[in-house]
Amino acid sequence: MIDVVRSSLAPDLLDYHEGWALQRRVHAEVVAGARPDSLILCEHRPVYTAGKRTADDERPTDGTPVVDVDRGGKVTWHGPGQLTGYPILRLPDRHEVVAFVRDLEAMMIDVARAFGVAGERVEGRSGVWVRSAGGWDKVGAIGLRVEQGVTMHGFALNCGNELTPYDRIVACGIRDAGVTTLSAVAGRSISPADAAPLVLAHFRRGVLGLAALEEVAA
């Protein structure tokens, strides 16, 4: 059984610090065996976050605040129009992190396909990508932390968010590719509220090798 914590889809946006505290609380409960594996879905208020490998020249150059976090990956942006998901679950084996990343990619590729968007993997890079005139644009990002065998942080799927915030950073540390949204590629408005039921449906069907879900309040 997996608890699904559906938290703050627009217009009720989630402050990143509050969401991070929620993650830590749920993570501690899963580690202790007091709660089953869980999934948090949300839209954040606008925020830049930086993983442990972020270089100084990848951060905003205009003094915009950045929240340094304990996940892998580099600097990125979260905000309205982006569906952010935090699967907090116990991995059967610590060596299964790469397989877990591949499963998250497969889930986002399937969700994108439902909107007529051909998402793909790019060898040597995590996340989900779409082909563009310039080569590749990223539409889905992944940044994880595994502590005591339980995952934290997760994935971000660009649905209909603005792209100008990415102009201030080197998103995910990648300088030779762009960023896009499902809406931009599909040519119509697609919101996190549109994508969330599809994400949940994939989890319910056993995507990531997980059990059936039961929605509960946080």
Catalytic residues: 172
Give the C-alpha separation, 97 to 103, whole Å: 10
In single-letter form, the type of residue at position 50 comes to A
Give the C-alpha separation, 30 to 26, whole Å: 6
Quick one: which H or E segment has residue 21?
A: helix 16-32
Give the C-alpha separation, 127 to 122, whole Å: 8
- In order, the DSSP letters of 73-130 are S-EEEE-TTEEEEEEE-B-SSGGGHHHHHHHHHHHHHHHHHHTT---EEETTEEEEEE
Q: 192-204 and 97-114 are packed helices; what angle lies between their axes, rounded to 10 degrees?
A: 130
Tokens found for residue 218: 């946080």
Q: How many other CB atoms sit within 10 Å of the CB of residue 185?
A: 21
Give the C-alpha separation, 59 to 83, whole Å: 22
3-state DSSP assignment of residue 209: helix
